[in-house]
Amino acid sequence: MSKDQLAQVAQALVAPGRGILAADESSSTIAKRFAAIGVESTEAARRDYRELLFRTTPAMQKYISGVILYDETVRQKAADGTPLVSLIEKAGSIPGIKVDAGAKPLPGFPGETITEGLDGLAGRLKDYYDLGARFAKWRAVIDIADGIPTRGAILANAEALARYAALCQEANIVPIVEPEVLMDGGHALQRCYEVSEVVLRAVFTALYEQRVFLEGIVLKPNMAVAGKKSPHQASPAEVAAASVRLFKNTVPVAVPGIAFLSGGQSDFEATANLDAIARLSPPWAVTFSYGRALQAAPQKAWSGKAANVAAAQAAFAHRAQMNSLASLGQWSEPLEKAAA
């Protein structure tokens, strides 16, 4: 393990004004996204779509610090034979890789899941490092519903996250630690806050016990938000106040930065809430690690047609710029509309 290398990469991932593009959708997930825009999910279509994102310059150079890839994508080549990893590196971004095997039902805990993928992970990490990946992602999923989450499920997922992080660092790969409390239900913001606090405390206890080097990780959490079905949707100011309080109470200052997940928020919501958080000047670098909130607009603009590549790249560049400004606390709704 090279602590200097890990710290350097972690700092680069949360550099001011730059964030992470989550392009790590599984084959089944991207098939659903493509179906929504009338595109068949073939290997060539997936390659073409991701290639157009990675060739979006200067947006990649200015606004994207890293790109999380799926196993297929980290091995793919562009239409001209250039490895997609090389396109990312040429844009000044850092290639990363999703390494978990997804959330599966947790035996004995109805309605709860455990993320799998630890078996053989050390060997896979070595292969991914050789392919150019310098950071990785593992997502733990915590749902809120009647009677859940239970402490047992929280602890199981925290332990798995910590083991993953330790294995990554042994391979000189920066782990993105992603404990996601889902926003699918009808719970209030305060319930999200309470669950997220318990989850984050468990995660950092497990990281400490597994001797994870905190200066060499990036935290990718949910914001403190109400569930989608809640009758009261919090304002950006309310989300920001609760989120910053949450992280001040749970996240050590040794962590270089927090790269928020969008978690099902709309493009606008994810940007507005990030901006409100950044304006409170929390003690960590704050930025974005968005998938849908960066990709929904370019996917719709592209719709699988080569003639639409420029329009899709413009849509991606716009969303990347808006979130860059938000991460600096410099975004506004009038600015968003003027730049559209």
Of the residues 159, 178, 269, 336, only one is catalytic, namely: 178
Rounded Cα distance, 45 and 73, in Å = 12
Rounded Cα distance, 304 and 295, in Å = 14
Q: Give the CATH number for residue 179.
A: 3.20.20.70
Residue 308 is classified by DSSP as G
Q: Which domain holds residue 329?
A: 3-339
Question: How confident is the model over 204-213, as a mean pLDDT?
Answer: 98
Of the residues 112, 220, 269, 336, only one is catalytic, namely: 220
* Number of domains observed in the structure of the chain: 1
Distances (CA, A) of 100 to 71, 133, 138, 210: 10, 15, 5, 18
Containing H/E element for 256?
Answer: none
pLDDT band at 36; cut points 50, 70, 90: very high
Residue 306 is classified by DSSP as G
Is 228 a known active-site residue? no
Closest CA to 158 of 110, 221, 65, 87: 221
Is the pLDDT score of 337 beyond 90? no
The residues, any chain, with a CB within 8 Å of residue 25's CB and separated by 6 or more, are 33, 70, 291
Is 178 a known active-site residue? yes
Is the pLDDT score of 340 beyond 80? no
Q: Which pLDDT does position 178 carry in this prediction?
A: 98
Mean pLDDT, rounded, of the chain = 97
